Amino acid sequence: MTGTTTVDATMNSFRILERLVASDEALGVTELAADVGLSKGVVHTHLNTLAELGYVTKRDRKYLASMGLLALGEDVRSHLGVFTAARRHVDNLARVTGEVSTLFVEEDGVGICVYMAHGSNDWTPEYACGTRIPLHVTAPGKAMLASLGRERVADILDERGLDAQTAETITDRNVLRGELRTIRENGISFCREEQSAGVIGVGTSIALTERAPAAAIGVCGPSSRLTGRYLEEDITGQVISTAKSIQVDLTR
Amino acid sequence: MTGTTTVDATMNSFRILERLVASDEALGVTELAADVGLSKGVVHTHLNTLAELGYVTKRDRKYLASMGLLALGEDVRSHLGVFTAARRHVDNLARVTGEVSTLFVEEDGVGICVYMAHGSNDWTPEYACGTRIPLHVTAPGKAMLASLGRERVADILDERGLDAQTAETITDRNVLRGELRTIRENGISFCREEQSAGVIGVGTSIALTERAPAAAIGVCGPSSRLTGRYLEEDITGQVISTAKSIQVDLTR
DNA sequence: GAAATTGTTTTTCAGAGCAGAACGACGGCC
DNA sequence: GGCCGTCGTTCTGCTCTGAAAAACAATTTC
């Protein structure tokens, strides 16, 4: 059925863990057992295991996800060359534009926001670091697609499709192909409410060495503020020069 | 002798996952099997399970930790009230001081750095978000200890001890108790190379509602730069006023 | 092109994971 | 303050799974 086999106990542990992670209050064994469909006894054993591993904490007879989970993500991120090189530049991009600035990488044909820096403008997208977002709906995602080989893009589109996230999402392959060509020519990509209504983004890819995954940076914000020359000249210019700075650091 | 029972398969899965997370290159089944002491066959099954869950990726016959792990940490963090309230203030603290600014919470008697913002000065501590750090060796940690009840502090010291991290670490209970009193009086704590040689920190606790864990913010940097009035007046003042801003947001 | 190495699958079986029941510790209610 | 309901924890079997070993397949190496 699943092709190859999996470890049931591990899946159960993660179901419990993910349930805790999604909750903003401590949960009891009985409630968790009902949620994941296991007996109270086993759930308790799993919780005990996760607690011993440091990923779950017990606060007066109830369990909650531990902040130790942050270390896992931070660790995997710190081993990503492009992140260590780009972080301060993305921070700076957020500082000079005042807008949310992001670093994305491609993984398994989807985009993952690896880092997000907030500018002085108090706004935040509805996705967070680690969220998987289809490549064709964001500016950095399209920039990464444009930087990939033609056959790789075809594979990704075959596997992932072009689902619509909003009314503006590009769902036609030929339209997308045309846009990728434009992106390659201009070295910049835009996302006009294709991922989320009311949100506009700008992005550009970061050329990487072999072996490394595709990567891109971006700036995004409410469409009410990101308009006209501010968007198409000021911000675009800052994004491009930031990408150049990152590349300089990367090839050192 | 683990007292209660644990799920072996889960522990094995996490041993494999943690090994991958700690590596900055893709690892093969054979190497992983040797590292964790399991047969190639099971390791393969575990990897397949973790891949299906989205925490591991396969890049040409080798496995590596997925960026999807970031989502777990980000999720648990976003459910932490003090983080959502404090983030932009900590960002701002880093902006105005130019130094690394952090948010810590207490969990199971240790401090965990929940958020770190970098200022314009290019420096970073050797710990990252998610790292567990003994409370008695950092400025925010001591601030949290000072904000806890006397009996709670005794419990923590009994359980965790006062291990020396550097030559400057406070290892004597009475000395620490005296310092905590001073911290309570002044509303500010300092860490002078007690956690890491050459690193100085300032911190202050954030008063929280019931139920919530202790929390504190801090600023840290190289001892060569953080000295004299800059440290004891400028930065200290910014830390205290930032904490006040956070409390205002929290009690809304 | 052969040989060695590595990822994947298969086989086999001890014991681990799971359900269900029993136990015990809180917390509320009268 | 004592009884009762509820929830976390432990216990008891039973089943089926997770794990070792070996066979197999797909690579890489020489």
B90-121 per-position pLDDT tens digit: 999 999 999 999 999 999 999 999 999 999 88
Distance A29 CA to C30 C1' (A): 29
Lowest mean pLDDT across A138-142, B187-191, B209-213: B209-213
| Count, residues in chain B | 252
**Is there a single domain that holds both residue A39 and residue A107?**
no
Backbone angles phi, psi at A57, to 5 degrees: -125, 155
Work out the mean pLDDT of chain A and round it to a whole number. Answer: 94
Backbone angles phi, psi at A28, to 5 degrees: -90, 165
Residue B198 lies in a domain: yes
Give the whole-number percent of chain B exceeding pLDDT 90. 87
Report the protein residue whose CA lies nearest the C1' of nucleotide C25: A61
Do B130 and A76 lie within an 8 Å CB cutoff? no
Is any Cβ of chain B less than 8 angstroms from the Cβ of A68? yes
Domain of A211, CATH number, reads: 3.30.450.40
Residues of A within 8 A of B93 (CB-CB) are none
pLDDT for residue B232 is more than 60: yes
**Is there a single domain that holds both residue B33 and residue B115?**
no
As a whole number, mean pLDDT of residues B214-226 equals: 95
pLDDT for residue B18 is more than 90: yes
Residue B2 lies in a domain: no
Residue A2 lies in a domain: no
CA–CA separation, A101 and A202 (whole Å): 9
pLDDT for residue B84 is more than 60: yes
Work out the mean pLDDT of chain B and round it to a whole number. Answer: 94
Lowest mean pLDDT across A39-53, A88-102, A185-199, A227-241: A227-241
Last residue of a domain, one of B48, B66, B84: B66
Residue A133 belongs to what domain range? 74-250
Q: For position B2, what pLDDT does the model report?
A: 42
Residues of A within 8 A of B5 (CB-CB) are 45, 48
**Is there a single domain that holds both residue A132 and residue A214?**
yes
Residue A85 lies in a domain: yes
A133 confidence band (pLDDT: 50, 70, 90): very high
As a whole number, mean pLDDT of residues A33-45 equals: 96
pLDDT for residue A2 is more than 50: no
How many domains, in total, are found in chain B?
2
B127-167 per-position pLDDT tens digit: 999 999 999 999 999 999 999 988 899 999 999 999 999 99
**Is there a single domain that holds both residue A43 and residue A109?**
no
Q: For position A104, what pLDDT does the model report?
A: 98
pTM, two decimals, is 0.93
**Is there a single domain that holds both residue A52 and residue A100?**
no
Tokens of B249: 């947001």
As a whole number, mean pLDDT of residues A20-34 equals: 95
Conformational region of residue A100, where left means phi above 0, alpha means psi within -120 to 50, and beta covers everything else: beta
Conformational region of residue A98, where left means phi above 0, alpha means psi within -120 to 50, and beta covers everything else: left
**Is there a single domain that holds both residue B119 and residue B165?**
yes
**Is there a single domain that holds both residue B104 and residue B225?**
yes
**Is there a single domain that holds both residue B40 and residue B86?**
no
Do B122 and A88 lie within an 8 Å CB cutoff? yes
pLDDT for residue A173 is more than 80: yes
Residue B27 lies in a domain: yes
**Is there a single domain that holds both residue A56 and residue A178?**
no
For residue A69, give the nearest of B10, B23, B76 by CB distance. B76
Last residue of a domain, one of B66, B84, B104: B66
Which A residues in the span 161-190 are in contact with B, Cβ-Cβ below 8 Å? none
**Is there a single domain that holds both residue A25 and residue A150?**
no
**Is there a single domain that holds both residue B117 and residue B208?**
yes
A103 confidence band (pLDDT: 50, 70, 90): very high
